[in-house]
Structure 1
Amino acid sequence: MQDVAAQAGVSVMTVSNVLTGKKLVTDATRAAVMKAVDALHYIPNIAARSLASAAPERIGVHFRNIENAYLSAMVIGAVDATSQMGAQMLVGRWDLDSGLSPIDVLRQLVRSGAQGVLIAPPFCEMLTGEELAEFEGVALIGLSTGDTLARLPSVRIDDKRAAFDMTRRLIALGHRRIGFITGAANHLSSGTRLAGYRQALQEAGLSVSSDLVANGELTFDSGLVAMTQLLESDVRPTAVLASNDDMAAAAMAVAHRAGLRVPDDLSIAGFDDSPLAVRVEPKLTSVRQPVSAMADQAVRLLIEAVRHPEAERSIVTHMVEHRLVERGSTSTAPVV
């Protein structure tokens, strides 16, 4: 750091402020320091930095212990943010069979030293005022909340609008029988995405049939069951929108087993645009919810709150733009 400071013509403290992301220097000074860092091939020693400060920020990541692409992307984003900002990351995973409730796991994280916690749905959407009062002084933020929360800040997309946009796109491709696979009932996004799907159908003058809606649990296996139900209904869809990519991939598997060609006979779209979307064949059309970037943003907000405890904390919903990513799993409706 002394070498970097000498080459940039600044103090060692200024170099430290730049490398830890503190907003105490001008853009010109920051650029000069980073130029010196690049020229000298300097790599900050995060462990040494933590020892020197004696108070590394500890950020917990709280989620249910299930396998899906969304949670993988969330953890990757949190890892990126904590590593780049020199913070420690603690993981709290809860399981329906563990005997520990989500609130027990949150308590464990805080007892382990977490000063801020990123909380995945559905638990972030379920926290009561009484429970939040227990964690006064701990920075908490929800991720991908299906709607605005009154008690907790969050980073989210407009789920209703996103589902509306994808359904409207399928309608524009000529589809009139569009199936929908919901998410888990305890996730707010399940309701808002279903509402967006229904609104798009209604605005297009199409009927909303219960036969075209199947319940899922945001897992691949639940997608298999839901898609089988849709194909066995009296009103077989020509397109299906699933509430995440895992269930959309399962829907594609069921369609292939039924002898249907995707997208010639049946178009399928997903949600999240996770890495899974480009690992299936054909590649999946999906609503891009930038989960990793959202988790990165949320963790940075937590770290800033921990570093500046004197700042006033307010409940803010940080909205992130979604977009439609069209690939090979959707096309114009088949002629019947």
Structure 2
Amino acid sequence: MQDVAAQAGVSVMTVSNVLTGKKLVADSTRASVMQAIESLHYVPNIAARSLASAAPERIGVHFRNTENAFLSAMVIGAVDATSQMGAQMLVGRWDLEGDSSAMNVLRQLVRSGAQGVLIAPPFCEMLTEEDLAEFEGVALIGLSAGDALPRLPSVRIDDQRAAFDMTQRLIALGHRRIGFITGAPHHLSSGTRLAGYRQALQAAGLNFSPGLVADGDLTFDSGLVAMARLLDGPLRPTAVLASNDDMAAAAMAVAQRAGLRAPDDISVAGFDDSPLAVRVEPKLTSVRQPVSAMADQAVRLLIEAVRHPEGARPVAGQPAITHLVEHRLIERGSTGTAPTV
């Protein structure tokens, strides 16, 4: 910046004002500074500029200490947003109990300087009014909550509608015995996706059968157990919708071991459209939940709330804002018309 200032014949503060877009500089002076920047091939160091201003936005990303494609996509989206907006990102991974419990990790993020925190499910769905009072003055937002959150703003898709749409598509392919693998019980999406599945059956005049529903917990291993239960039940399904792609991939593996080919003998669909969906064979039909883009949007909302706190205050008596993102059905080789029985 000193070199730019010297070539343009201005002060370093004037160069700073030009780079930050402040309207304190005459057009002719701004043009001289920009010409010097171009001729010197100067590229501002965003991190150094934030440190120099003594006001770096620090955004925490809070999620459970587990491995799955959803969380990987979430972190990628958060990295993109913080990098592009010149903020710093702090990561907090929590376990179920002890010092690494969800609340303790959130406290640690705030003590480390996080001014805003992106919170993954299920913790964003579990925060009480008393919990939130502890973090007054910290911008918080939930990601991919399974339903509207009464006390916390969120970025999410309409999970019930998404499950309805995918079930309806399987019905349109001629399937009448459609199995469903639920998500983890402490996730709101487990209930809303099951509700969407049941709603689609009802709209098509099909009876809901508890025997066609098996419990999972969003892990591959739970999908193996759930699919085995569905295939061993009295009503073998011709199609199965799983609450995420990990369990859907497991369901296809179990079907193949049982001698069933997808989609000729059985159709399988998942949820999230994670990278796994195109790494299995046949490639997986899935509900696309754009997790990275949603995390990017949520982090940008947090940064804006930190930069302009006066505009982020909730209106008394009004529910928290939900930012709904569109889902899409991505059809691939794992689904097809129902087999003739």
Q: Same fold (TM over 0.5)?
A: yes
Residues 111 and 42 of structure 1: CA distance in aligned 2, closer, same or farther (over 3 Å): same
Alpha-carbon distance in 1 for matches of 2:115, 2:152? 16
Structure 2 partner of 1:106: 106
Structure 1 partner of 2:131: 131
- Matching of residue 317 in structure 1 with residue 297 in structure 2: no
Alpha-carbon distance in 2 for matches of 1:23, 1:219? 53
The structural deviation recorded for 1:55 is 1.6
Structure 2 partner of 1:223: 223
Structure 1 partner of 2:242: 242
Residues 225 and 308 of structure 1: CA distance in aligned 2, closer, same or farther (over 3 Å): same
Alpha-carbon distance in 2 for matches of 1:13, 1:199? 58
Alpha-carbon distance in 2 for matches of 1:201, 1:243? 16
The structural deviation recorded for 1:280 is 0.9
- Matching of residue 16 in structure 1 with residue 19 in structure 2: yes
Alpha-carbon displacement from aligned partner over 1:25-64 (angstroms, at most 9, x marks no partner): xxxxxxxx99999998664423312222122111000000
Alpha-carbon distance in 2 for matches of 1:291, 1:131? 26
The structural deviation recorded for 1:97 is 6.0
Asked if structure 1 preserves the Cα contact closer than 8 Å seen for 2:305 and 2:312, the reply is no
- Matching of residue 75 in structure 1 with residue 75 in structure 2: yes
Alpha-carbon distance in 1 for matches of 2:262, 2:41? 50
| Higher Rg | 2
Secondary structure of the residue aligned to 1:67 is coil
Structure 2 partner of 1:251: 251
Counterpart mapping for 1:107-186 below 5 A: 107-186=107-186
Secondary structure of the residue aligned to 2:100 is coil
The structural deviation recorded for 1:309 is 1.8
Alpha-carbon displacement from aligned partner over 1:148-193 (angstroms, at most 9, x marks no partner): 1110000010000000000000000000000000000111111000
The structural deviation recorded for 1:310 is 2.5
**What TM-score, normalized to structure 2?**
0.88
Structure 2 partner of 1:88: 88
Flag structure 2 segments of 5+ consecutive residues without an equivalent: 9-13, 25-32, 315-319
Secondary structure of the residue aligned to 1:254 is helix
Asked if structure 1 preserves the Cα contact closer than 8 Å seen for 2:178 and 2:241, the reply is yes
Structure 2 partner of 1:308: 308
Asked if structure 2 preserves the Cα contact closer than 8 Å seen for 1:177 and 1:237, the reply is yes
Secondary structure of the residue aligned to 1:310 is helix
Residues 236 and 114 of structure 1: CA distance in aligned 2, closer, same or farther (over 3 Å): same
Q: Percent identity?
A: 82
- Matching of residue 331 in structure 1 with residue 336 in structure 2: yes
Residues 231 and 44 of structure 1: CA distance in aligned 2, closer, same or farther (over 3 Å): farther
Residues 16 and 175 of structure 1: CA distance in aligned 2, closer, same or farther (over 3 Å): same
Asked if structure 2 preserves the Cα contact closer than 8 Å seen for 1:17 and 1:23, the reply is no
Flag structure 1 segments of 5+ consecutive residues without an equivalent: 25-32
Q: Write the letter of the residue equivalent to 2:286.
A: S
Alpha-carbon distance in 2 for matches of 1:77, 1:212? 36
Residues 168 and 310 of structure 1: CA distance in aligned 2, closer, same or farther (over 3 Å): same
Secondary structure of the residue aligned to 1:179 is strand
Structure 1 partner of 2:52: 52
Q: Write the letter of the residue equivalent to 1:323.
A: R
The structural deviation recorded for 1:318 is 0.4
Structure 2 partner of 1:299: 299
Residues 261 and 137 of structure 1: CA distance in aligned 2, closer, same or farther (over 3 Å): same
